[in-house]
Amino acid sequence: QLQASGGGLVQAGASLRLACVASGRLYSSSVMAWFRQNPGKEREFVAATRWSDSRTYYADSVKGRFSISKNRAENTVYLQMNSLFPEDTAVYYCAKGSAYDTNFRAYNIWGQGTEVTVSS
């Protein structure tokens, strides 16, 4: 089970940090990812990290602004979002999969989503 938190309403240029706490064991092969979704649109890949090492992956739209990190001791993955744009507005979901993929269908466990609204 995954529990996401940290969303909110901010102005453009602000920062937010999302957190995703995983209950249960995370294996070394696990990949933790963040996706986002707006109404009527498909879930979009944002960032991912391998649980076992330091490899990280980002969508082009967030490179240089967002950073994914993890705290293994707390079974938590973070998404630090800086220089937010109004187009970053979405519901953000954390997800767990067994391999890195930018397609949301590759992930089998999802958090409940946390809403991020960026005003202009």
* pLDDT (0 to 100) of residue 24: 77
106: phi then psi, degrees, rounded to nearest 5: -80, -10
82 vs 72: CA distance, rounded Å: 23
Count of residues in the chain: 120
b/e per residue, 40-79, with b = 16+ CB within 10 A?
A: eeebbbbbbbbbeeeeebbbeebeeebbbebeeeebbbbb
Residues lower than pLDDT 50 in the chain: none
20 vs 6: CA distance, rounded Å: 9
* pLDDT (0 to 100) of residue 26: 79
* pLDDT (0 to 100) of residue 29: 81
* pLDDT (0 to 100) of residue 53: 85
- Give the E-state strand segments of 1-120 in sequence order: 2-5, 8-11, 16-22, 31-37, 44-50, 56-58, 66-71, 76-81, 90-97, 107-110, 114-119
